[in-house]
Amino acid sequence: MTTLASEQQLEMLSKHMKANNVCNSCNREINTLPNNTRFYCPVCNKFEIVRCGHCRQIVAKYTCASCGFIGPN
Ligand SMILES: [Zn+2]
Ligand SMILES: [Zn+2]
Q: Where are the domains of the chain?
A: 3-71
User: Per-residue pLDDT for the chain (73 aa), expressed as one digit of tens each?
Assistant: 666 778 777 776 665 555 489 999 999 999 888 999 999 999 999 999 999 999 999 999 999 999 999 998 6
- Which ligand is nearest to the Cα of residue 66, counting in written order? 2
User: How many A from CA of 1 to the centre of ligand 2?
Assistant: 29
β pairing state of 48-51 and 37-40:
antiparallel
- Which ligand is nearest to the Cα of residue 32, counting in written order? 1
User: How many A from CA of 6 to the centre of ligand 1?
Assistant: 29
Tell me which residue of 23, 65, 24 sits closest to 46, measured CA to CA: 65
pTM score, whole prediction:
0.70
φ and ψ of 61, to 5 deg: -70, 145
